[in-house]
Structure 1
Amino acid sequence: MRYSSQFKPISYLKASTADVLADLTERREPLVITLNGEAKAVLQGVATFEQTQETLALLKILALGNQDVAAGKTKPATDIVARLRAKRAST
């Protein structure tokens, strides 16, 4: 995704808000808003935002898992499966 073509001045946003929102929904790409030629904000559609948040959550889970592995906080899968089978058998 090329962000260089997705820069618009704040005046464009003010004048074309409905078009900008429709474009964000359709294209699913973020839009960088500039003020005095400097990037100040990023707009994105709700679906894109939600997808980004889900991706970040999964990456956080992976990072926490890697930390547990590095700290030796793991157990063999065979031990876990045996424990689960024993629980199921006792109920």
Structure 2
Amino acid sequence: MLKFGNICLALSLLSCAGCSTPTEIASAPQPSTYRGMPAGLLERCDTRDIELVQTGDIVTSRNLNKKNLKECAEKVDAIRAHDARARQVNGASPNH
């Protein structure tokens, strides 16, 4: 019975170790292209902010947020344009 308990303990520790993998290691890599779309458009938008320490950091944070949202909107527009071109080439209607 003692050997069975040791085996169960070892297996439970192994299963717990799988649950504690950092997300940077466990996350899937981004695809390099999708039907001819440049890889840069498929990267996630930057949503990082700065730590607010001084009053002036509020303005800096707002400006950074505006810049990041503008870059993200440009990516979305480029993806929509790519999709529209692909639909025209393939002859599909915009509702499909």
Alignment TM-score, normalising by the size of structure 2: 0.32
Structure with greater strand percent: 1
Alignment TM-score, normalising by the size of structure 1: 0.34
